[in-house]
Amino acid sequence: MLTYRDIQLFDVRDPDEHQEGRIPQAVNLPSAAMPLCGGLTETRKADEEIQKICNQVKDRAEGMAGKKFNSFVAISYKTQVMAGISYSIKVHVGGDKYVHVQVWHKRPWNGGELELTNIQYPKRLDDPIQ
């Protein structure tokens, strides 16, 4: 590992470019593989943490949709980090119906609370989260 006063050199070029002309011991970390700051992540399978978020915004989502949902089960999600975390979540609401909810999780110094900012209804299982 190339170090100088605990400094590590990263080469952000594509692997083929890295092989054509590289600094020995530089770590190749292609920029195309890194998430874009402020960009959406890839779709991920919902877990217990995401379901807890959905549980907290269910009543508000029903109010925004003007409808009571038979279920409210998180299926998948994407996140976007800014001055907090924006969650885009696909939620199964019964039968073949789904909703997409946008939830803003404020940073602790901004109150740390969850805010439902948008709901898209109806959606289908194969509709991509945006």
Domains of the chain, earliest start first: 1-34 (no CATH), 44-123 (3.10.450)
pLDDT of residue 67: 95
- pLDDT tens digits for 34-86? 555 667 889 999 999 999 999 999 999 999 999 999 999 999 999 998 778 89
The three-point CA angle 55-46-71 to 5° equals: 40
Residue 18 has pLDDT above 80, yes or no: no
Average pLDDT over residues 5-20: 69
Residue 25 has pLDDT above 90, yes or no: no
Distance, in Å, from the CA atom of 34 to the CA atom of 60, rounded to the nearest integer, reads 35
Residue 66, CA distances (Å) to 59, 90, 93, 119 in order: 10, 18, 13, 11
| Residue predicted with more confidence, 69 or 9 | 69
Of 9-13, 16-20, 70-74, the range with the highest mean pLDDT is: 70-74
Distance, in Å, from the CA atom of 126 to the CA atom of 79, rounded to the nearest integer, reads 19
- pLDDT tens digits for 75-126? 999 999 877 889 999 999 999 999 999 999 987 776 778 999 999 999 999 9
CA 60 to chain CA mean position, Å: 21
Distance, in Å, from the CA atom of 76 to the CA atom of 66, rounded to the nearest integer, reads 23
Distance, in Å, from the CA atom of 29 to the CA atom of 71, rounded to the nearest integer, reads 42
Q: Has this prediction a pTM greater than 0.75?
A: no
Q: Where are the alpha helices (DSSP H) in the chain?
A: 15-20, 48-65
Distance, in Å, from the CA atom of 113 to the CA atom of 126, rounded to the nearest integer, reads 30
Take residue 61 and report the two structure tokens written for it: 């989502």
